[in-house]
Structure 1
Amino acid sequence: MSSEGAELTFRPAGAADVPALVALVESAYRGDASRVGWTTEADLLDGRRTDAEGVTEAIEHPHGLVLVVERAGELLACCQLERRDNVAYFGMFSVRPESQGGGLGRAVLEHAEQVAREQWGAAELEMTVIEQRADLIAWYERRGFRRTGVYLPFPYGDERFGIPRRPDLRFEKLVKDL
């Protein structure tokens, strides 16, 4: 029985969701499993993308929210929002690799924008993307984000963010007016 026709549900993540969220984020970005989708960072980074501690911290953040996205009770995607004055930070955006490319990511992003705008009164959504991910940056630009030219260093030596496969990684800040 397929759940394709079932409607997406969005809910705040709780402590019980941590193991499944860690597995989802890892599957979307790292290792051979991530190569099924197009958001993989496997050519840029080895190691982990996140861990239970990092996900728990995001869930428990006093000004944040991790959204779990399900269809018929099946975890398909997630994202993190963090309120920073009149700006909302968007991160930990993950879609199961086999579910990528069909509009699910767009629906999650639109829902996150709505939460940031309507519930938090945010004027902008901001995020950081590894500069070398031109395909991903282009996807965000098609959804109204703009490149700022503001760069942040990659945390070399901190394996919580992965093990770089090249020496020139850095993040670029992207913003979108809400």
Structure 2
Amino acid sequence: MRPDHEFRTATPADVPALVALVESAYRGDVSRQGWTTEADLLEGQRTDADDVRRVVEAADSVVLVAVAPEDGRLVACCHVERRGERAYFGLFAVDPTRQGGGLGRQMMERAEEVARTTWRSTHLEMTVIRQRTDLIAYYLRRGYVDTQVRSPFPYGDERFGLPQRDDLEFTLLEKPLG
């Protein structure tokens, strides 16, 4: 059992470590150590420093991080953004070597608390690649509902990666925060 992680708000100085964490959780061979990999669906980058810096510095936006107690490394993160009465959850990543131990659940609980208490959001919503049935099942177990609202994957925009199949699309999940 690992000691408790420190949770805090990310700063611009965290941007390089955040990009590396997100890439390690979703892309390439390192991501295959965990269960959240998208390596079979997408190649290329998941995010970049400009996009991460933008959400770290934006108004009505917070990026939460978990810091490893043993070495101060960022080992989990998520982004929460106010969107009217709702909040959006994204940029969720857990170091592949730490997945399955409850750290992701703790990060999600903190994100929900930020949305509920800071902005009085009524719902937290996110988009997930519909073909990620294991990841969607994880969110459903945590009280999220698949709204059945679909949106197309941005084929041709390499900022989102290089698709390895031609049927990708997003589904909107939401959770009431009442």
TM-score bucket (shorter structure): over 0.9
Residue 153 of structure 2 corresponds to which residue in structure 1?
154
Residue 36 of structure 2 corresponds to which residue in structure 1?
39
Q: Deviations over 1:131-175 (max 9, x none)?
A: 000000000000000000101110100000000000010000000
The offset of 1:74, in angstroms, is 2.6
TM-score, with structure 2 as normaliser: 0.96
Residue 2 of structure 2 corresponds to which residue in structure 1?
4
The offset of 1:97, in angstroms, is 0.1
The offset of 1:10, in angstroms, is 1.6
Secondary structure class of the residue paired with 2:14: helix
The offset of 1:63, in angstroms, is 1.4
Unaligned segments of structure 1, at least 5 residues = none
Residue 105 of structure 1 corresponds to which residue in structure 2?
104
* Pair 1:74 & 2:88 matched: no
Which one-letter code corresponds to 1:70 in the other structure?
A: V
Alignment map for 1:7-156 (pairs within 5 Å): 7-72=4-69, 73-156=72-155
Which one-letter code corresponds to 1:174 in the other structure?
A: L
The offset of 1:116, in angstroms, is 0.7
The offset of 1:71, in angstroms, is 2.8
Q: Please give the alpha-carbon distance, in whole angstroms, between the structure 2 residues aligned to 1:84 and 1:172.
A: 18
The offset of 1:60, in angstroms, is 1.3
For structure 1, which segment, 137-146 or 11-20, has the greater mean C-alpha deviation from structure 2 after superposition?
Answer: 11-20
Unaligned segments of structure 2, at least 5 residues = none
What is the alpha-carbon root mean square deviation over aligned residues?
A: 1.0
Secondary structure class of the residue paired with 2:34: coil
Q: Please give the alpha-carbon distance, in whole angstroms, between the structure 1 residues aligned to 2:73 and 2:102.
A: 17
Q: Please give the alpha-carbon distance, in whole angstroms, between the structure 2 residues aligned to 1:34 and 1:58.
A: 23
TM-score, with structure 1 as normaliser: 0.96
- How many percent of aligned residue pairs carry the same amino acid? 61
Q: Please give the alpha-carbon distance, in whole angstroms, between the structure 1 residues aligned to 2:73 and 2:16.
A: 14
Tell me the number of residue pairs that the alignment of Structure 1 and Structure 2 aligns: 175
Q: Please give the alpha-carbon distance, in whole angstroms, between the structure 2 residues aligned to 1:24 and 1:84.
A: 25
